[in-house]
Each structure stands twice: as structure tokens, then as C-alpha cells.
Amino acid sequence: MLGYGKSGMGTVIPADAALEFDVQLLAIKSKLEEEEDEQQESDEEVFQQIDTDRNGELSKEEIRQHIKRHSGRATPKDEEDSIVAEIFQDNDKDKNGIISYKEFLNPTKKDEL
């Protein structure tokens, strides 16, 4: 309860009024859980940046374009090919030539993408 005393608050809240608030507890999270939620949101944002055709999967070409946009330098094609091959080797678990969102969440990718 919040009281405003004899003066109230201008014409909005009269003198001697009290405001009552009903509060609903939505969640109790530890600091670790909050950090995990933030990391998941960050992972989702990165995935969406890379997934330029918005089909929910990452192709080799989308990975290659992401590398070009974020490398800060011109990367030779053979170096790009090597990086893309390594990313797919580590993250394309079912070896179908694409990286799904579930595969993307694999912790080994965080250092690479």
C-alpha cells in the first residue's frame, strides 16, 4: 500500500488517499537462469542474422556470406571454404548439408560464428 498523506498529489490523488497494488509474481530466476535466457535470445538473434532466406536453416552460402560480412577483411575463397567446411563438420550433426537451429545451438559453434 502506498499513502499520499494530507496533501495527496495535485488533482489526481486526493488528500489522505492510499493506493493499493495487486502484484502477481511471474517468475523467480537465479542469475544463471537470467544469463541463460539472455544467451538464448542472443543465439536466436545471430541465427536470424545468418538465415537470410528465413527458412529456419543455415546453408553453406548463408554461412559464407556471414563470414564475409563480419570478418573485417577480404578473406580468400579457399580460406572461406575451409572455415565453412569446419563449421559444417562440427555443427551439421545429421550431415544433410544444412545447419538447423537445434544444431546451431551446439556449444562448439560459438567460437566459430
Domain ranges of the chain: 28-111
Question: Quick one: pLDDT band at residue 48, thresholds 50, 70, 90?
Answer: very high
CA distances to 10, 14, 71, 84, 100 from 45, in Å = 46, 48, 18, 20, 14
The answer as to CATH 3.40.50.720 being correct for domain 28-111 is no
Q: How far apart are CA 47 and CA 113, in angstroms?
A: 10
Q: Where are the beta strands (DSSP E) in the chain?
A: 2-3, 18-19, 57-58, 99-100
The residue type found at 16 is: D
- pTM, entire model: 0.60
* pLDDT, average across residues 14-37: 72
Q: Which range has the top average pLDDT, 11-25, 46-60, 75-89?
A: 46-60
| Alpha helices (H) along the chain | 31-50, 60-70, 77-91, 101-104
How much is the mean pLDDT over the chain?
A: 81
